[in-house]
Amino acid sequence: MSLHKKARVALAGLAVGALSLSACSAGALGSSSDSGAAVANSTTITYLVDNGDTTVKTAQALVDAYNAQKTGTTVKLESRAQGTDGDNAVKTKLATGDMAEVFAYNSGSLMAALDPAKNLVPLTNEPYMSTVQDSFKTAVTYKGQVYGIPMGGAMGGGILYNKKVFSQLGLSVPKTWADFMANNAKIKAAGIDPVIQTYGDTWTSQLFVLADFHNITATDPQWADNYTNNKAKYVSQPALSSFQRLEAVAKAGYMNKDFASIKNTQGLQALVKGTGAQYPMLTFTISAYVTMSDDAAQNIGFYAQPGDDASKYGLTAWTPGGVYIPTSAKGAKLDAAKKFVAWLATKDSCDIQSKAVAPSGPYMVKGCTLPSGLPAAVGDLQKFFDDGNVSPALEFLSPIKGPNLEKITVEVGSGITSAADGAKRYDEDVKKQAQQLGIAGW
């Protein structure tokens, strides 16, 4: 399971959830809501989303607003469970032609696993696609065709940090790994846990590896393609550094003593309280920690995971989930689905989403802006997008992600396995996954 989907699943468990970790983690059919009275002679279509609280709240607001326009299309909202069973249900619905006319699901490698050329309607030439940011299109492109539009905001993978701790110790946000480790030494000397780890939720162990991808691609822009084509490995540099960074933090004793047992919520609490200074994490957790104290929204900041070269400092980003139309939508229902999807990719849609649920990352539709008064970490994240210092996470550039990464990173972070051995095992895990997907060259 990807970090993107696991994070979104976790988010639902927090009452958000990846790592992946996904904004659109698929599931079995759940409840339905017929929003508003049907317009006379209208075409009725269904919009299927996961049953996370924030997902349903946002989707209901969108459906209500669209139906109020009386466009000749009535949209009904249906929800589905999350998790692995949900993935299987989505694939079954697509295979049997029983999918809703519009549905939300993951972008990136999980979208590619749906066999888009067979099951999804291409949106490549739709006029509104010019408003969708290119960095998102990459995550929903399969064999040259674009299949989805973004829903929700992007996420960043990096380091959440306690600003009061940094201020008290005279620390600056590091832009190199050497500076990061130097900060850790000062934090530990002050009696504070430098780096929070929460292996009670195993998916969180992956952040040091996956959030490091910008540093890999900044060194070798062709690495993702070579990785997909079995020409680049984690056991070799520059990718080996990702495992070595996790190993270095563990060996230096910079992690909290209870790292093996505590979970994501407890890690966020430690960060907010200041008993831990930094937490490698996805920014989807912003909505969870802001409720933990009166000053958490402004006291917790965010920065990208640094590499070895300050001049190449930048962010590894997780694009939001996508909205898709299945090939089972035909005739008037297909036309109605296309009109609804076109409206979802507008500034009006973004504004409605912001009013329904405070965004935790930038939208990927041109012209959409974030409201004022958001948590500090959202502003920190936005700066990377504004400056263009962003690389998509590997799962949005390659269909291959080994399912056992979180088990391996737990072992490396716990000192059970070395970075080199962990990278070697992950390469073997990736090989099995690539062969199962039938990718050439494996």
Tens digit of each residue's pLDDT (9 = 90 or more) over 380-401: 999 998 888 899 999 888 888 8
Select the more confidently predicted residue: 90 or 211.
Answer: 211
- Please indicate, yes or no, if residue 383 is contained in any of the structural domains: no
Once rounded to an integer, what is the mean pLDDT over residues 100-129? 94
Residue 282 CB coordination number (10 Å): 36
| Distance from C-alpha of 247 to C-alpha of 362, rounded to nearest angstrom | 32
* Tokens, residue 324: 């898709």
- Please indicate, yes or no, if residue 15 is contained in any of the structural domains: yes
Does the pLDDT of residue 7 top 70, yes or no?
A: no
By mean pLDDT, which of 31-45, 73-87, 126-140, 428-442 is the weakest?
A: 31-45
Does the pLDDT of residue 67 top 70, yes or no?
A: yes
Q: Report the percent of the chain where pLDDT is more than 90.
A: 78
| Distance from C-alpha of 390 to C-alpha of 386, rounded to nearest angstrom | 9
What is the pLDDT, as a whole number, of residue 36?
Answer: 46
CA atoms within 13 A on the CB side of 117: 4
Residue 115 CB coordination number (10 Å): 12
Model's pTM, two decimal places? Answer: 0.81
| Distance from C-alpha of 329 to C-alpha of 335, rounded to nearest angstrom | 9
Say if residue 230 is in the same domain as residue 136. no
- Please indicate, yes or no, if residue 382 is contained in any of the structural domains: no
Strand 193-195 vs strand 276-282: parallel, antiparallel, or unpaired?
parallel
Alpha helices in 97-145 (DSSP H): 109-112, 116-119, 134-137
| Distance from C-alpha of 297 to C-alpha of 5, rounded to nearest angstrom | 25
CATH number at residue 349: 3.40.190.10
Confidence of residue 40 (pLDDT cuts 50, 70, 90): low
Say if residue 130 is in the same domain as residue 195. no
Does the pLDDT of residue 184 top 90, yes or no?
A: yes
- Number of domains the chain contains: 2
Say if residue 67 is in the same domain as residue 16. yes
Once rounded to an integer, what is the mean pLDDT over residues 427-440? 92
* Tokens, residue 230: 């079995």
Say if residue 124 is in the same domain as residue 56. yes
- Please indicate, yes or no, if residue 220 is contained in any of the structural domains: yes
Give which of 319, 224, 290 is closest to 18, Cα–Cα.
Answer: 319
Tens digits of per-residue pLDDT, 235-287?
A: 999 999 999 999 999 999 999 999 999 999 999 999 999 999 999 999 989 98
Say if residue 334 is in the same domain as residue 290. no
What is the pLDDT, as a whole number, of residue 289?
Answer: 95
What is the pLDDT, as a whole number, of residue 121?
Answer: 98
Say if residue 182 is in the same domain as residue 287. yes
**CA-derived radius of gyration, the chain:** 21
| Distance from C-alpha of 268 to C-alpha of 264, rounded to nearest angstrom | 6
Say if residue 11 is in the same domain as residue 144. yes
What is the pLDDT, as a whole number, of residue 388?
Answer: 85
Q: How far is CA 165 from CA 179, 187, 192, 301, in A?
A: 16, 8, 9, 11
Tens digits of per-residue pLDDT, 186-234?
A: 999 999 999 999 999 999 999 999 999 999 999 999 999 999 999 999 9
| Distance from C-alpha of 349 to C-alpha of 234, rounded to nearest angstrom | 40
Tens digits of per-residue pLDDT, 314-368?
A: 999 999 999 999 999 999 999 999 999 999 999 999 999 999 988 889 999 999 9
Say if residue 294 is in the same domain as residue 340. no
Residues shown for the chain: 442
Does residue 51 contact residue 27 with C-beta atoms inside 8 Å? Answer: yes
Residue 118 CB coordination number (10 Å): 9
Say if residue 12 is in the same domain as residue 144. yes
| Distance from C-alpha of 437 to C-alpha of 430, rounded to nearest angstrom | 11
Say if residue 270 is in the same domain as residue 419. yes
- Please indicate, yes or no, if residue 379 is contained in any of the structural domains: no
- Please indicate, yes or no, if residue 203 is contained in any of the structural domains: yes
- Please indicate, yes or no, if residue 442 is contained in any of the structural domains: no
Residue 36 CB coordination number (10 Å): 16
Does the pLDDT of residue 427 top 50, yes or no?
A: yes
Confidence of residue 95 (pLDDT cuts 50, 70, 90): very high
Once rounded to an integer, what is the mean pLDDT over residues 111-127? 95
What is the pLDDT, as a whole number, of residue 18?
Answer: 38
Domain extent, residue 219, equals 158-317+394-437
| Distance from C-alpha of 83 to C-alpha of 8, rounded to nearest angstrom | 9
Does the pLDDT of residue 403 top 60, yes or no?
A: yes
What is the pLDDT, as a whole number, of residue 84?
Answer: 65
| Distance from C-alpha of 432 to C-alpha of 442, rounded to nearest angstrom | 9
Confidence of residue 14 (pLDDT cuts 50, 70, 90): very low
> What average pLDDT is seen over the chain?
90
| Distance from C-alpha of 419 to C-alpha of 413, rounded to nearest angstrom | 9
Does residue 7 contact residue 18 with C-beta atoms inside 8 Å? Answer: yes
* Tokens, residue 12: 């639902």
| Distance from C-alpha of 64 to C-alpha of 225, rounded to nearest angstrom | 42
- Please indicate, yes or no, if residue 74 is contained in any of the structural domains: yes
**What single-letter amino acid sits at 74?**
T
| Distance from C-alpha of 76 to C-alpha of 94, rounded to nearest angstrom | 19
DSSP code, position 319: P
Say if residue 282 is in the same domain as residue 400. yes
Classify residue 260 by burial, with Cβ atoms within 10 Å: 0-12, 13-18, 19+. middle
Q: How far is CA 344 from CA 111, 326, 368, in A?
A: 19, 16, 12
What is the pLDDT, as a whole number, of residue 83?
Answer: 65
| Distance from C-alpha of 393 to C-alpha of 399, rounded to nearest angstrom | 11
What is the pLDDT, as a whole number, of residue 51?
Answer: 85
